[in-house]
Structure 1
Amino acid sequence: MKRRQFNKLVAGLTAGVCMTALSLSVQAADPLKVGFVYVGPIGDHGWSYQHDQGRLSVEAEFGDKVKTTYVENVAEGADAQRVIYNLAKTGHELIFTTSFGFMNPTLKVAKQFPNVVFEHATGYKMAKNVGTYISTTFEGRYVAGYVASQVTKSNKIGYIASFPIPEVIRDINAVQLSLNKYNPDAELKIIWVNSWFDPGKEADAANAMMDQGVDVILQHTDSPAAMQAAERRGAYAVGQASDMSSFGPKAHLLSVVDEWGPHYINTVNAVMNDTWKPKANVEGMKEGAIVIPSFNESIPGDVIAHAEELIAGIKDGSVYPFAGPIKNKAGQLMVPEGARMTYAELEKMNWYVEGIESDIPQ
C-alpha cells in the first residue's frame, strides 16, 4: 500500500473513531426526561402544588441533567391513561403519577413501555417497572386531632373528605383515635365532597359544618377554600398537603405538609445510576416526608408542647396512632392491646374506628 493511501486510511479511521466518541458523548449528555401527572392544578396550594414543588426540587438538584414535564388537571380514568401514554411515547424515561385513581392507567401503560420507569403515588399495585410511594399522612392527622381536641369550644370537629378510599378512611380514623384519647366528648362530623379539588364544594362543606356548630375543620381535599371560610367566620382549620397559613392567619392551627422533594431526588438518582427497583416506598415524619412547619400562636403553650412530644414520639416509634386496643364503630375489637396495625393492613382499611357515628359511603 502506498504511503499516501495508508495515511488517508488512518485519517479516515481516526475521524470515524472521533465522530463515534463525539456521538457517544452527546448521547451520554442527553438529559433524563422525567414526567409528572397531576390530578389538580399546580395552583391548588395543596396536593398538586406540593408535588410540583418536588418537581422543582429535582430541577434544582440536577440542573441540565434532567428535563421535567408536567401535565395538570388530569381526570382519573381514561384521560389519565392517554396522558401517561403520551409522556412515555415522547421519550420520558421516568414518570410519576400522583393520584390514587391513576393506578390502573399507570399499570396499563407500563405494560406497553417496559423500559420506562413508573412510580405511582398512594397506590398498592406494582409491576417490574412500576413502584409505589406514599407518605404516612395519618401521623400528621393524629397530631392535628390532638390539637383540635384541645382548642375546640363546641366539641364539634369537622372533616371534609374526598373519596372513600383507604388513604382517606385511615386519616379520618387517626383523627378520631386522637379525639378518643384526648377529648372523648368531641364529635367528628364528616362531609364527603367526591372530589380532590373543588373550591366551591369545599367552601360549601365548611360553611355547612360551621352552621352546625363545628369550630375546627380538617380536610382531605386540596384547595384552601375551607381555610378561607374558617377565617371569615372565626373558626379554626388545618391545612392539607402544603402550608396553608397564608390563607387564614387567624384560622390556621397547623398544616400537615407533604415533602416530596427527597423522594423524587432519590428516585431520579436511582434511575440515572441504574439501581432503581420496584418497591413500595412508605415514608413519614421520621424520614421528613411529613412535616408540621408551625403552630398558631393562639394555641396554649402546653398544647403545643405536647403536640411536639407526639411528633418526637412518632419519629422515634414510641407513639403509633394505630396501636391497640382499637375497636371498630360497632364495638368489635380489631387490634388487640399490644399489637400494631401494619402498613399492609392500613392500606386496605375500609372500616371506621369506635366513636364515628356516620357510615362510609358505598
Structure 2
Amino acid sequence: MLDLAVLRRALRPRLTALAALLAAAAGLFGAGAVAAEPLKVAFVYIGPVGDAGWTYAHEQGRLALEKALPGQVKTTYVESVPEGADAERVIRQLAADGNKLIFTTSFGYMEATLKVARLFPKTVFMHATGYKTAKNVGVYEARAYESSYLLGVLAGGKTKSNTLGFVASFPIPEVIRNIDAFTLGAQSVNPKVRTKVIWVNTWYDPGKERQAAETLIAQGADVLSQNTDSAAVLQTAQQKGVYACGRNSDMSRFAPSAQLAAGIVDWGPFYIQTARDVIAGTWKSASTRWGVAEGMVDVAALLPGLPAPTLKAYGDQKKALAEHRFEVFQGPIKDQSGALRVAAGSQLTTEQLMALDWYVHGVDAPLPR
C-alpha cells in the first residue's frame, strides 16, 4: 500500500526546488512578464474642462480613451494652463512623473512641447494644431474649417440681414481658416453675405466673448459663430433673439432656441489609436489632420425648421466632404481686396493652409497684424 507520508517527504525537495525556480524566473523577467504596467498618459489643457468648448471636447476624448483601454492606460490632466513659461513647467513635470505619452492641446504650447521633448527622448509628445515635429513629437489637428464651412451654409440660408458675426480668439492661421471657411460656406448659398469679426485675444473669457457678441449684434449680425471656448456667444444670441453656432461641442443646452447647429470634434478615436501605437511600439512621428471623412469633424443638433434648399445644400456639401470630392479652399477664391488668390481648378496646399494669413472676399473687418 502507498504510504502518503513517505511520498510527501520524497517530493518535498523537488517542490521546494520548483518554487525556487519560479521565484528566480519572476526576478529575471520582472513583473512585466506577468502583467505590463499601464501606459501613463497626460493631457495639458488651455481652459477648464467645463468650458463646453475646446477643452471639454478634449476631455471627452480622454474619457473615451480610458473607457476603450481599461487597465492598459492610466490618464491624468492639468487644466487652465497658460501658454508660455507655465506650459513648459507643467509639461516638464508631467514627463518627470513618468507619463510616456503627453498630449499638449493648444497652439501656443508648441515651443514648450519641443523644448521639453528634447529632455525626455523616450517620451512621446503629441501637439495639437501645431506644425513642428521631432523624432518624439507628432502633431495632430481636426480640419475644423470643414465644419465651419458647413455651419456657414446653414447661416447663409438663415440670415435675414445678410450680416454674419464671428467672435475670434487670436489671429493665427487656425482661426483665420475658420473665419474664411464660414464665410465661403455662407456665400455658397447667399452671395450677399458679409462677415464681421471681433477679436477678443483670449481662448476663454465669457465676459469678453459676451461683449463681442453684443457688439456684433448691434452691428446687424443675426447669425453668429465663434472660435472661442465658452457658451457666452450662444447665451447672448438666446437673450437677443438671434442665432449662433456651437463650437467643438453641442451647446444647445445653453441656447435651445438660438443654436443654429454645432460644429463638433470627436478626439476619442485619435487618442485611442495613438495610445495603442505607443503601447505596441509602432508609433512614429507624423502630422495627422482628420476631418469629416475620418469622422473627427461633424455638425450636430441642427435647429428644426431650416429652409429645405439650405438643408439640401448642406447635405450635398457634407457628403462631398466625406467622399473627398470637395475641398473648402478650392478655387476660384478671391481675397478681401478682390484679388484672385486661388485659381479655378486648384486648391490651397496643406502648407498654405497652415500659414493662412488673409481673409476671403466678404469678410468685412481688418485683419490684425
Give the Cα–Cα distance (whole angstroms) in 1 for the partners of residues 165 and 19 of structure 2: 79
Deviation, structure 1 residue 178:
2.3
Which residue of 2 is the match for residue 238 of structure 1? 245
Which residue of 1 is the match for residue 210 of structure 2? 203
- Asked whether 1:32 is paired with 2:47, we answer no
Q: Which of the numbers 12, 15, 27 marks the counterpart of 2:23?
A: 15
8 Å contact kept, 1:162–1:168: yes
Given the superposition, is the C-alpha separation of residues 167 and 11 from structure 1 closer, same or farther in structure 2, using an over 3 Å criterion? closer
Give the Cα–Cα distance (whole angstroms) in 1 for the partners of residues 252 and 347 of structure 2: 33
- Asked whether 1:250 is paired with 2:238, we answer no
- Structure 1 residue identity aligned to 2:32: L
Query: The residue matched to 2:253 in structure 1 has which SS?
Result: helix
- Asked whether 1:288 is paired with 2:305, we answer no
- Structure 2 residue identity aligned to 1:212: Q
Which residue of 1 is the match for residue 276 of structure 2? 269
Per-residue deviation, residues 301-329 of structure 1 (Å, max 9, x unmatched): 33223211110011112222111111222
8 Å contact kept, 2:293–2:323: yes
8 Å contact kept, 1:254–1:292: yes
Give the Cα–Cα distance (whole angstroms) in 2 for the partners of residues 354 and 210 of structure 1: 21
Superposed, 1:24-173 pairs within 5 Å as 24-25=32-33, 28-173=35-180
8 Å contact kept, 2:189–2:310: no
Deviation, structure 1 residue 185:
1.7
Give the Cα–Cα distance (whole angstroms) in 2 for the partners of residues 91 and 76 of structure 1: 22
- Structure 2 residue identity aligned to 1:145: G
Unpaired runs of 5+ residues, structure 2, are 1-12
Query: The residue matched to 2:288 in structure 1 has which SS?
Result: strand
- Asked whether 1:360 is paired with 2:360, we answer no
8 Å contact kept, 2:41–2:102: yes
Q: Which of the numbers 319, 329, 338 marks the counterpart of 1:331?
A: 338
Deviation, structure 1 residue 171:
1.1
Query: The residue matched to 2:70 in structure 1 has which SS?
Result: helix
- Structure 2 residue identity aligned to 1:23: A
Deviation, structure 1 residue 182:
2.2
Query: The residue matched to 1:83 in structure 2 has which SS?
Result: helix
Give the Cα–Cα distance (whole angstroms) in 2 for the partners of residues 353 and 272 of structure 1: 44
- Structure 2 residue identity aligned to 1:310: Q
Deviation, structure 1 residue 32:
0.5
- Asked whether 1:279 is paired with 2:286, we answer yes
8 Å contact kept, 1:330–1:354: yes
Deviation, structure 1 residue 21:
4.4
- Structure 1 residue identity aligned to 2:203: W
Superposition RMSD in Å: 1.8
- Structure 2 residue identity aligned to 1:359: P
Per-residue deviation, residues 148-200 of structure 1 (Å, max 9, x unmatched): 11111111100000000000011111122223332222221100000000000
Query: The residue matched to 1:59 in structure 2 has which SS?
Result: helix
- Asked whether 1:303 is paired with 2:289, we answer no
Query: The residue matched to 2:71 in structure 1 has which SS?
Result: helix
Given the superposition, is the C-alpha separation of residues 15 and 174 from structure 1 closer, same or farther in structure 2, using an over 3 Å criterion? closer
Which residue of 2 is the match for residue 220 of structure 1? 227
Count of aligned residue pairs for this structure pair: 358
Query: The residue matched to 1:45 in structure 2 has which SS?
Result: coil
8 Å contact kept, 2:153–2:187: no
8 Å contact kept, 1:295–1:304: no
Give the Cα–Cα distance (whole angstroms) in 2 for the partners of residues 305 and 179 of structure 1: 14
Per-residue deviation, residues 69-111 of structure 1 (Å, max 9, x unmatched): 0000000010000000000000000000000000000000000
Deviates more, 1:202-211 or 1:191-200: 202-211
8 Å contact kept, 1:157–1:186: yes
TM-score (norm 2): 0.93
Query: The residue matched to 2:300 in structure 1 has which SS?
Result: coil
Deviates more, 1:245-254 or 1:311-320: 311-320
Query: The residue matched to 1:334 in structure 2 has which SS?
Result: strand
Deviation, structure 1 residue 13:
4.7
Which residue of 2 is the match for residue 3 of structure 1? none
Give the Cα–Cα distance (whole angstroms) in 1 for the partners of residues 254 and 352 of structure 2: 36
Bigger CA radius of gyration: 2
Query: The residue matched to 1:158 in structure 2 has which SS?
Result: strand
Which residue of 1 is the match for residue 8 of structure 2? none
Given the superposition, is the C-alpha separation of residues 222 and 12 from structure 1 closer, same or farther in structure 2, using an over 3 Å criterion? same
Given the superposition, is the C-alpha separation of residues 12 and 295 from structure 1 closer, same or farther in structure 2, using an over 3 Å criterion? closer
Give the Cα–Cα distance (whole angstroms) in 1 for the partners of residues 215 and 32 of structure 2: 63
8 Å contact kept, 2:156–2:187: no
Which residue of 2 is the match for residue 194 of structure 1? 201
Given the superposition, is the C-alpha separation of residues 13 and 181 from structure 1 closer, same or farther in structure 2, using an over 3 Å criterion? closer
Give the Cα–Cα distance (whole angstroms) in 1 for the partners of residues 95 and 314 of structure 2: 44
8 Å contact kept, 2:163–2:221: yes
Unpaired runs of 5+ residues, structure 1, are 1-5
Deviation, structure 1 residue 298:
2.6
What is the identity percentage for the equivalent residue pairs of Structure 1 and Structure 2? Answer: 46
